[in-house]
Amino acid sequence: MHYIYISTEHLRATTKTVIKTSKLISKTISMPSTPVHLPNPLSATSNTNPLPQILRLPTGLAILELQGDINFPSPEDSPSNINFTKVGNLIFPDATSDSTDLKDVKRVWLYVGKHQRLTGEVKALPKPLGVLRKRKQDDAAATAAAAGTEEELEIVDIIKHKIIFSKRPEPVGAAEM
């Protein structure tokens, strides 16, 4: 599955430009186009979401920015044949149980393994990013699309925050986790 990140302001500006010049372009060059749709609110997103749960927060998606490297175990060391690796636990120590907005949250902890804690902070992105994915087609739409090779995109989420871990890891004991 491939994801494309597009700034919402860039998307609006591009849409306005395309609308203004669509007649001129269609007369001179045949350009490919792809329809973009809002997500279907009736579909179950919990089962069909291909993104790892560590990235999905109550407020939506966020970007994790890490300074340095994380050493993952080799595939031979893993006892199961799962295609993802758990990096750690993400904890918001300042958040209350009823908070659903990251504006009030400043500190974030990422526990990596049993003995390291990264301290980070939540920052708002200057320009929100849109996450798109290819839209799944049902059988009727698939046969209609077979005649034309047009792909459709669906907006997964708008990313408004990033979580920055710019400090060195702190050693912790098992009791602190």
- pLDDT tens digit sequence for 82-101: 556 677 788 887 776 666 66
- The answer to whether the CB of 157 falls within 8 A of the CB of 132 is no
Instruction: Reply yes or no on whether the pLDDT at 22 is more than 60.
Output: no
Using DSSP's 3-state secondary structure scheme, residue 170 falls into strand
**Angle at the Cα of 53 from the Cα atoms of 52 and 58, rounded to 5 degrees:** 135
Q: Report the run of H or E that residue 118 belongs to, with start and end.
A: strand 116-134
Instruction: Reply yes or no on whether the pLDDT at 43 is more than 80.
Output: no
Burial (CB count <10 Å: 0-12, 13-18, 19+), residue 102: buried
Instruction: Reply yes or no on whether the pLDDT at 7 is more than 50.
Output: yes
User: Does the model's pTM come out above 0.85?
Assistant: no
84 CB-near residues (< 8 Å, 6+ apart) = 52
